[in-house]
Amino acid sequence: MAVDLSRTWVIENEWYWRITEGAQTLTVEAALRDFVQPLLKALKQGEARAADGGFELALGEYATTIALTQTATDRIALNHLVGDLNRALSLAKIVQAFALVVPRRYELRGAVLDESELAALAGKPELLMPSSRPSWKQMPAQTP
């Protein structure tokens, strides 16, 4: 299954390099600006506002506080963020998931996928996060 680009949004190219090079730059402001707000725009609902060490996410009648992983590389921190956002979507009974995809070399995009689309991409190189790839589990949890 190829990623339908019309249902994705471009994420600043710099994030691709930060993720692959093990940078540790994710801030609350960057998470909201580059990942959360575009997701909410794609969903056409919800709001998020910064809170101590993370943000509060309101989707329908559900509100969730999401804390950012502060001591890990961007790869790990963003994987946690994607997982936390997907748990919040599930609690709000939204039957779609947020994913980071790489449809073309060096191009990072956000996507809202249904369960079958996410399952079809599992283990494929186009799906960056959430990842089930064995190599993901071998990434160091912190930079030395």
In the sheet that holds 96-101, the strands lie side by side as: 8-10, 109-114, 96-101, 127-129
Contacts of 56 (CB under 8 A, 6+ apart): 48, 49, 63, 64, 65, 66
Contacts of 143 (CB under 8 A, 6+ apart): 22, 24, 73
Q: Tens digit of pLDDT for each residue in 89-142?
A: 999 999 999 999 999 888 999 999 988 898 888 888 899 998 754 443 333 333
| Residue ranges covered by each domain of the chain | 5-138
Q: Tens digit of pLDDT for each residue in 7-46?
A: 899 999 899 999 999 999 999 999 999 999 999 999 999 9
